[in-house]
Amino acid sequence: MDAKLSVNINKIATIRNSRGANTPDLLKTAQDCERFGAQGITVHPRPDERHIRYKDVHDLKPLLTTEFNIEGNPKEQRFIDLVLNIVPAQVTLVPDVTGQLTSDHGWDTIKNKDYLIETIALFKKSGIRTSIFVDADIRMIEGAKETGTDRIELYTESYAKGYSENKLKAIEPFIAAAKKANELGIGINAGHDLSLENLNYFAKNIPGLLEVSIGHALISDALYFGLENTIQLYLRQLKSTYQPSFFKEEQE
């Protein structure tokens, strides 16, 4: 089964907010992404609402027909209240700090074990699938199992940065992390700096990959290729997702 593509629409909100009106129309864009083939919509509201606003999340909920994924820092009570009110298909917990430009690290699932257990249980009680943002570190994957999370989201910036220099080396820790997650029965999502250049290789080498969340690269590509064509290009990269012999063939 191919991994699902969830389109992060934060950048659409950033452009809209820069002029203070409603162009581009965030709600219509989200619906168009679904119409063009996206299997999910991701938003990541932050306390300063510099892109997605909390009102946007409320407005999106009744319009979406695919999976709604809300990312954010659960240490913000406003975020917790928002998710419990909206009840999306999935909540992705990200350990952002105040004023952070973009997500740049995963949870320390060992140090934050008790907190994550409590928080994840709160969301799961409302029937919300939980995913936690983690680095490709075996210890963090093992720690994630102890929290009760349904899934992890592998933070893929290091893979994206290392891909052009040595893609074999760049992907090795992610393969190991994925195998450990599979062994422990944890679902696997992935995101951050995945692009048309590196997505196919990642998807073909990660066993059990269920979903990728992509925003910045996809919206940037849409400036050249158009939104509908771009979404189709990304979906094409996810076709026949995992090929067990692919990594071995590359090494040879």
Within 8 A by CB and 6+ apart from 152, the residues are 131, 132, 133, 134, 141, 144, 181, 186, 187, 188, 189
- Give the CB-side neighbour count of residue 169, counting CA atoms within 13 A: 5
User: Which of 34, 71, 153, 211 is labelled catalytic?
Assistant: 71
Answer yes or no: 105 catalytic: no
Q: CA 72, CA 43: separation in Å to the nearest integer?
A: 9
Answer yes or no: 71 catalytic: yes
User: Which of 34, 67, 153, 192 is labelled catalytic?
Assistant: 192
Name which of 97, 175, 186, 106 is nearest 140 in CA terms: 106
Q: CA 107, CA 149: separation in Å to the nearest integer?
A: 12
Answer yes or no: 197 catalytic: no
Peptide bond into 24 cis (omega under 30): yes
Taking a C-beta distance cutoff of 8 angstroms, is the pair 7, 218 a contact? Answer: yes
User: Which of 44, 67, 153, 211 is labelled catalytic?
Assistant: 44
Catalytic residue numbers, as ranges: 44, 71, 192
